[in-house]
Amino acid sequence: MTRQGLLIVISGPSGAGKGTICQGLLQNNKDMCLSVSCTTRAPRPGEKHGVNYFFVGKPHFEQMIANNQLLEYAKVYDNYYGTPRQYVEEKLAMGMDVILEIDIQGALQVKQKYPQGVLIFVVPPALSLLKERLTKRGTDSLETIANRLRCVCEELSNTGRYDYLVINDTVENALDQAEAIIKAEKCRPSRFDITKFLDC
């Protein structure tokens, strides 16, 4: 009997460590994959269609929106980004657990269209630590970091709409918490067809 896969949505402020947690989950679980998003932007050097993104034209993307073929989407700087429903549903039907690493807006769209999905929000133990992580990364200007930190409070106000909160004090602890959440979710009675187990 093939088990229906679990749709796992992971969000969090920039620098909270959600990408690292996603990579850890993928390394530890062979029956887990990262969803491939669609985008209307041009491929960057080294990017491959179907691996990094599904690269599609704007009319095609807008047709996908009209046909309800996306679990979530957003427009960022004149380009669309979204999660194709068919790709995700095919993987779930194969018994694969699918991770979506997306922002709050996208996560809440997914929850509306796929309520059995599991939403996990990753936070650092303190705002000061988040500032330190963003600064050490060395990829953003001080102005960009300040803007990101201003957005954190607004993001945190939405955590009550998620199913779980993971505090990333260390990567090991955060990964253990995420693994425990996923294991517990797979044991929910609502995820089983009990008639397959019983003879009554």
Residue 57 annotated in ligand binding: no
Q: Rounded mean pLDDT of 1-11? A: 86
pLDDT of 111 strictly over 90: yes
Q: Rounded mean pLDDT of 20-29? A: 95
pLDDT for the residue 121: 96
Residue 14 annotated in ligand binding: yes
pLDDT for the residue 2: 58
Residue 15 annotated in ligand binding: yes
CA separation for the pair 26, 30 (Å, rounded): 7
Contact 37, 54 (CB under 8 A): yes
Poorest-pLDDT segment among 27-31, 89-93, 131-135: 131-135
Architecture of the domain spanning 7-199: 3-Layer(aba) Sandwich (3.40)
Q: What angle do CA 143, 147, 151 make, to 5 degrees?
A: 170
pLDDT of 178 strictly over 90: yes
Residue 138 annotated in ligand binding: no
pLDDT of 200 strictly over 60: no
Give every CB contact of residue 94 below 8 A, 6+ residues apart in sequence. Answer: 2, 5
Taking only the tens place, the pLDDT of each residue in 74-104 is: 988 789 999 999 999 999 999 999 999 998 9
Taking only the tens place, the pLDDT of each residue in 143-177 is: 877 777 777 777 888 889 999 999 999 999 999 99
pLDDT for the residue 65: 96
Residue 37 annotated in ligand binding: no
Name the residue type at position 53: Y
Residue 18 annotated in ligand binding: yes
Residue 93 annotated in ligand binding: no
Residue 13 annotated in ligand binding: yes
